[in-house]
A = this chain, B = another copy of it.
Amino acid sequence: MNGELGAQYLASYRIKTDPLLTNFLRKKINQAAAIDGLSKTLVQKFEKMTKLGKRLRGALVVLGYQSSGGKDIRAILDTSLFVELFHTGALVLDDLMDQDETRRGLPSIHKQFEAEGRKWKIRSSSALYGRSMAMNVGNLAFYLSWEKLMQGNFPAKDLIKAGSLYVKFVTRLIYGQSLDITKRKNTINPKSAILKTIRHKTAEYTGVMPLLIGATLAGLKDQRKKKALEKYGLSLGMAMQLRDDILGIYGKEKEIGKPVGSDLREGKQTMLVYHLFRYGTGKQRAITRNLLGKRALTKEDVRQMKKLLKDSGTLKYVTDLGWDYVDQGKKVIPEVSGDPETKALLESLIMLMMERTK
Contacting B at CB under 8 A, from A160-184, are: 160, 163-164, 166-167, 170-172, 174-175, 177-179, 181-184
Q: Is A75 an interface residue (CB 8 A)?
A: no
Q: Is A164 a contact of B147 with CB atoms below 8 Å?
A: yes
Size category of the A interface is: 35 or more
Q: Is A132 a contact of B96 with CB atoms below 8 Å?
A: yes
Known contacts A142-B139, A184-B121; A36 and B175 CB within 8 A of each other = yes
Q: Is A179 a contact of B36 with CB atoms below 8 Å?
A: yes
Known contacts A142-B142, A167-B147, A293-B123; A135 and B184 CB within 8 A of each other = no
Known contacts A146-B167, A150-B163, A185-B123; A136 and B36 CB within 8 A of each other = no
Contact of A135 among B32, B135, B144, B266 (CB under 8 A): B135
Known contacts A36-B179, A121-B185, A139-B142; A150 and B174 CB within 8 A of each other = no
Most B CB contacts (10 A, CB to CB) among A38, A39, A157, A177 go to A39
Known contacts A39-B175, A132-B96, A184-B120; A160 and B164 CB within 8 A of each other = no
CB-defined contacts of A293 to chain B, threshold 8 Å? 123
What 0/1 readout, one digit per residue, does chain A (173-217) give for beta carbons within 8 Å of chain B? 011011101111110000000001000100000000000000000
How many copies altogether? 2
CB A19 to nearest CB in B, in angstroms, measures 22
Instruction: Rank and list the top 4 A-B pairs by shortest CB-CB distance, nearest first.
Output: A156-B156, A39-B175, A97-B132, A123-B183
The interface of chain A, by Cβ under 8 A from chain B, is 28, 31-32, 35-36, 38-39, 42, 93, 96-97, 99, 120-124, 128-129, 131-133, 135-136, 138-140, 142-144, 146-147, 150-151, 155-157, 159-160, 163-164, 166-167, 170-172, 174-175, 177-179, 181-186, 196, 200, 266-267, 293
